[in-house]
Amino acid sequence: MKVLVTGGAGFIGSAVIRHILSHTDDSVVNVDKLTYAGNLESLAAVSGSERYRFEQVDICDQAALERVFAAHRPGAVMHLAAESHVDRSIEGPAAFVQTNIVGTYILLEVCRQYWQGLTGAARDAFRFHHVSTDEVFGDLDGPEGLFTESTPYAPSSPYSASKASSDHLVRAWYRTYGLPVLLTNCSNNYGPYHFPEKLIPLMILNALEGKPLPVYGRGDQVRDWLYVEDHARALCQVMARGRLGETYNIGGHNEKSNLQVVESLCDLLQELAPVAQRRYRDLITFVQDRPGHDHRYAIDAGKIERELGWAPRETFESGLRKTVQWYLDNQTWCARVQDGSYQRERLGLGKEKVL
């Protein structure tokens, strides 16, 4: 099968593409606008495959998407392209509305027209898999309870509101037009190739440079953490075997407070990258909390486990150790992201930063 992956140069998208090309016989068309968070260097290990093609296209560009579909004739779409950083959504929500809502609408329409033109087995086999987040559910009241697939939506940030909107669009295109869709909502991902504005890579790189480790509020916000390669494997199982029109929650069974995560990172770095006269935990600083900050997310992943036999392979401890070691072993990738050279060379720019 040929799978078109939107946002394939991003953190989760690149993990999905690496998984498909390394563990299946499927081919991939990577459609990515290459915003600041899109990094083709994350696909260096597989980009030479004869089964891989890249198209630099904005999902808001309908004509360009139509050209891509006509040229490549995909058998399935995995939609991961999104603006995803909550702080950026608070500072500038317009980009989130444009990409996550308008872009999803345009992609759905292009897919619908393409699918309606298919016949026979190709039409029956086509799938549109929309990848979303547990943040659409808002937060849980207290230490008990889990998000299920039927939890009402209550988004708190411009980011989560835009993702909730895109989820509703996908369900409407299934209900109204019969477009064969699948949806997944995942918990916080972590792992290799994560852009360093997100919590775990930011803390690792700040700590290695001796910079403060800023923690919002008291650091008592709780998240369920999912290793990105476990997530990629789950997404491929949903694509292959999920029931049409259904939603599957994907979680790691690893609830940790933000402070626990940062302290665990500090302890691993103390073991794996000790520095004389430095105690990494001493770098932790508490800063003013984010507006509208959700307190607790936690996923009930029972449905995907029962129906598709998926379960995470990594514990938080094993996944975090792999993640820290990857960042220690891949300082060149990190440096090129931090100084912007991963973008400058592609854009043909000079030494100025482009983030």
| Active-site position among 105, 114, 159, 174 | 159
Rounded-to-integer distance, Cα 252 and Cα 224, Å: 6
Residue 205 resides in a domain: no
- In the chain, the number of structural domains is 1
In a domain, 306, yes or no: yes
Catalytic residue among 32, 58, 135, 224: 135
pLDDT in tens, 289-303: 988 888 999 999 999
Is residue 216 included in any domain, yes or no? no
Report if residue 179 sits inside a domain: yes
pLDDT tens by residue, 246-273: 999 999 999 999 999 999 999 999 999 9
Ranges in the chain, pLDDT < 50: 349-355
The pLDDT value given to residue 346: 66
Q: What is the pLDDT of residue 354?
A: 37
Q: Residue 347 has what pLDDT?
A: 60
Q: Which domain holds residue 128?
A: 2-191+225-254+293-314
Asked whether residue 12 is domain-assigned, the answer is: yes
Q: What pLDDT score was predicted for residue 290?
A: 86
Is 135 an annotated catalytic residue? yes
Answer whether residue 61 is part of any domain.
yes
Within-domain flag for 67:
yes
Among this protein's residues, is 159 annotated catalytic? yes
Cα–Cα distance measured from residue 254 to residue 225, given in angstroms and rounded to the nearest whole number: 5
Q: Return the pLDDT at 292.
A: 84
CATH code of residue 40:
3.40.50.720
Token representation of residue 266:
């500090």
Contact partners, residue 348, CB within 8 Å, separation at least 6: none
Q: What is the pLDDT of residue 143?
A: 84
Task: Give a yes or no: residue 234 inside a domain.
Answer: yes
DSSP 283: G
Of these residues, 134, 229, 230, 263, which one is catalytic?
134
Integer angstrom CA distances of residue 176 from 110, 179, 295, 310: 15, 8, 36, 30
